[in-house]
Amino acid sequence: MAAPMEAAAGKRRPFGTRFLTEPGRLFQHNAWDNVEWSEEQEANARSKVQENSSQLLPQDKQEEYEVNANRFWDEFYKIHENGFFKDRHWLFTEFPELAPNRNPSQNEVSRCKCGYKEESNNEGLGSCENGHCSLENRTENQSNLMESKPRFCPQQSGNQKHSDLNRSDGDYPGSSATYRILEVGCGAGNTVFPILQTNNDPGLFVYCCDFSTVAVDLVQTNAEYDSLRCFAFVHDLCNDQSPFPMPEESLDIVILIFVLSAILPEKMQRVVKRLSRLLKPGGMILLRDYGRYDLAQLRFKKGQCLSDNFYVRGDGTRVYFFTQDELDDLFTAAGLEKIQNLVDRRLQVNRGKQMTMYRVWIQCKYRKAVAPHP
């Protein structure tokens, strides 16, 4: 799967060069955007997947991972808290809908006036831990991996309880907002806080939810959490009886960033249909997720496969690897129309370790049709 470094580097001009530090070491990385795979690479990847999926987990073990899914994610966030995934400041280049009034010339993050510190975490190039390959960032927006990260600003108001989901029509969190965003699978807030920092629209309200109680607690106790602009709550997407705090057809945007892949494949269609009902006419679902033959898929060993292209990591969390057609079928079956569905293949070269790494992601935008005028 990994081509010789010199040959790979000679085929395409590097999109960017950056450095990743570890104690006592400095590694230089080059990244090539939208790399085309050869037939040989594709065949090698296919062969590797056939090999690592030749032995499926017993059904009773699979059921255990499904029943205890929330416990495994709780453990993940108890261990890593907010230190594993890096804030996703690439969002506003890929998904300008998240800050439609943003001046393109402004900095990637609207910065709080509380000062900054430079901070790195595990989301370095090729960082993998327990089956989580955590490089999710757009190459062009992280020319320096030691990104500036805002210190916490004083909180503007008290936290809301995520259990307080009762609402009546016209009276719910964010009911007076003019632009509403829901992030599903918010984790520790690596998407929601960049949105709140960057989108200064006074009519903005951001909802965010996660399967993990621990993750939602991390969001709510973050000093940047502002209950006047945000509502974080625990939610089980696969449970039709699990309530949303907002009514149907009230959202402008639903965000799915590396979250649909964590759901049992046979439940994905019902989840997408449920989310589509929350969209206003003209509202959109924005997705970025793992593509077929991504580095993370090829690194799995025999005995970690649950079903075709669906695996369990060492920590009990699960992940699926999509094709473009699979995602198109899911969204169009939910009545949404395609705006964007692209595959992003990227080559990263770690010159210090003499390694080449191929990442594959899929990015989608699907819109709910606007009702025709009578």
Residues 25-30, mean pLDDT to the nearest whole number: 42
Query: Quick one: pLDDT band at residue 93, thresholds 50, 70, 90?
Result: confident
Q: What would the DSSP string read from start to end of 87-119?
A: P-TTHHHH-GGGSTT--TTS-SSPPPTT-EEE-
Q: Could you report the per-residue pLDDT of 186-202, keeping only the tens digit for each? A: 888 888 999 999 899 99
Ranges 24-28, 228-232, 355-359, most confident = 228-232
Q: How far apart are CA 151 and CA 335, in angstroms?
A: 42
Reported in sequence order, the residue ranges of 186-261 that DSSP labels E, i.e. its strands, are 204-210, 230-234, 251-257
Beta pairing partners, 256: 184, 287
- pLDDT, position 313: 85
Residues 337-342, mean pLDDT to the nearest whole number: 97
Structure tokens at 315: 């920590």
Of 363, 226, 343, 349, whose CA–CA distance to 293 is shortest? 343
Q: How far apart are CA 321 and CA 292, in angstroms?
A: 5
Q: Could you report the per-residue pLDDT of 202-239, keeping only the tens digit for each? A: 999 999 999 888 889 889 999 999 999 999 999 988 88
Please, what's the b/e burial string for 246-261 (b: 16 or more CB within 10 A of its CB; e: otherwise)? beeebbbbbbbbbbbb
Residues 321-347, mean pLDDT to the nearest whole number: 96
Beta pairing partners, 355: 350
- Phi then psi for residue 330, to 5 deg, are -60, -45
Domain boundaries of the chain, sorted by first residue: 31-98+174-368
Residues 6+ apart with CB under 8 A from 215: 73, 74, 77, 186, 187, 188
Note if the pTM is more than 0.85: no
Q: How far apart are CA 204 and CA 226, in angstroms?
A: 12
User: Which residue has 């010199």 as its token pair?
Assistant: 6
Q: How far apart are CA 291 and CA 296, in angstroms?
A: 10
Secondary structure letter of residue 12 according to DSSP: S
Higher pLDDT, 36 or 72: 36
Q: Could you report the per-residue pLDDT of 278-320, keeping only the tens digit for each? A: 999 999 999 999 999 999 999 999 999 999 999 988 778 889 9
- pLDDT, position 86: 54
* 248 in Cβ contact with 172 (< 8 Å): no
- Phi then psi for residue 289, to 5 deg, are -155, 180
Please, what's the b/e burial string for 314-347 (b: 16 or more CB within 10 A of its CB; e: otherwise)? eebbbbbbbebebbbebbeebebeeeebeebbbb
Q: Length of the chain, please? A: 374
Of 218, 221, 268, whose CA–CA distance to 85 is shortest? 218
- pLDDT, position 4: 36
For residue 84, count CB atoms less than 10 angstroms from its CB and return exposed for 0-12, middle for 13-18, buried for 19 or more.
buried
- pLDDT, position 55: 87
What is the CATH architecture assignment of 31-98+174-368? 3-Layer(aba) Sandwich (3.40)
Residues 6+ apart with CB under 8 A from 117: 148, 149, 151
